[in-house]
Amino acid sequence: MISRLVSLTVAIVAAIGWAIGIAIVQPATQPEQFGSTNTYWARDARLMLIALTLAAFVWAVKGDWRRVAAGAAGALAWVGVDVALDRAELSGTRAAVITATIAVAAMVAAWLAARPQGTHANRTALILAGAVAAVTTGIGAAIESPTDTEPSLTVAGALIGVLGTVVVLGCALALAPSGRGVLFGVGAVALAIVAGIRLTSTEPTALLLGLALVALLVAALGVHATGNRRVTTWASGIAGTLGALVCLGMPVIMMSMVVGTGTLLTALAGNPPINAADEDVLLSASAAIVGLAIGAILVKIADAAADAPRRARAYAASQPPRDHMWEARREGWDV
């Protein structure tokens, strides 16, 4: 009950943030003729809030695949609504209030309609949702604009960082309810990193802190997914995540540029294009792809950890009894 209430709170806050972003922040930051890299950061922030809402929904329904599929369809429809409202040039406080009211009502209805069946949690869905939320949190907390001076930029980054941290820790607890104290400590460190990202003004520092935030959250998710809480598990989780981010991050971003996902959304929304010297990068999509890849790796590791006791029993059963081994040695057999 508490997890459903907290996850619904995350969804409601994200819905309100999205409504403010589409009706107030987007019109204020949209260029008149041509944009540059990160001009459409407000769009990325809104899409990240949608992704975090979907992850919170997966947490609320404990990864039930049927409900997860319905939630994913709803998230895609939400993205379509976002593009349509952006194209319609929705703006103003009144529009923001109306949009927020409708979005919040939709969140409440979705949570009331989708109650989890039984107490069993679907490990795979929760790991994938948590990993996407973790990567989205790190990238979203360090979100940038061409000027980095907009007050709403700091608010958006902090909001994504806080909500994403809650979602990842919620997915971790859904995987294994024990170890709450350690997770609270992880949450405190994560929120401190989010604050550090938003307070710093140097790009390399913000990037490094964002990577550290993702690594910490993924490690916490991995520890609860495998049930192994040794210090070495935390260390290997952090190191492995950093390696995965380095290996996957830039190729995925480059692929996004080649495919032109950002350019497509800009055209669909009827917004001015990015100038030829810069790139229209959709970081929210890149975060989701990298998160799914890291999540898939975590699923394999968790499956292997869950299967380890069975393999150990099978190995023990395949060994000859000790007394037979002693008899074999006495007779000079090679055992």
Q: List pLDDT tens digits, range 214-262.
A: 999 999 999 998 888 788 888 888 898 899 888 888 889 888 888 888 9
Q: Of 37-46, 188-197, 207-216, 325-334, where does mean pLDDT reach its minimum?
A: 325-334
Residues 288, 298 contacting (CB under 8 angstroms): no
> What does the alpha-carbon distance between residue 223 and residue 219 come to, in Å, rounded to a whole number?
6
> What does the alpha-carbon distance between residue 171 and residue 297 come to, in Å, rounded to a whole number?
16
> What does the alpha-carbon distance between residue 7 and residue 93 come to, in Å, rounded to a whole number?
27
- Averaged confidence pLDDT in the chain: 88
Rg (CA), the chain: 23
- Is 314 or 110 the better-scoring residue by pLDDT? 110
> What does the alpha-carbon distance between residue 285 and residue 136 come to, in Å, rounded to a whole number?
9
Question: Three-state DSSP class for 274?
Answer: strand
Does residue 332 have a pLDDT over 70?
A: no
> What does the alpha-carbon distance between residue 43 and residue 53 come to, in Å, rounded to a whole number?
15
Spell out the residues 6+ positions from residue 125 whose beta carbon is closer than 8 angstroms to its own: 58, 63, 64, 65, 68
Write out the H or E segment, with its range, that includes residue 64. none
Alpha carbon 155 to chain centroid distance? 18
What's the confidence (pLDDT) of residue 335? 42
- Is 203 or 198 the better-scoring residue by pLDDT? 198
Average pLDDT over residues 200-208: 79
Neighbours of 334 (CB within 10 A): 5
Q: For 65-117, write each residue's pLDDT tens digit.
A: 999 999 999 999 999 999 999 999 999 999 999 999 999 999 999 999 987 77
Burial track 17-52 (b if 16+ CB lie within 10 A, e otherwise): bbbbbbbbbbeebbeeeebbbbbbbbbbbbbbbbbb
What's the confidence (pLDDT) of residue 314? 59
> What does the alpha-carbon distance between residue 151 and residue 205 come to, in Å, rounded to a whole number?
20
The phi, psi pair for 13, rounded to 5°, reads -65, -40
pTM: 0.90
> What does the alpha-carbon distance between residue 260 and residue 111 come to, in Å, rounded to a whole number?
34
What's the confidence (pLDDT) of residue 131? 97
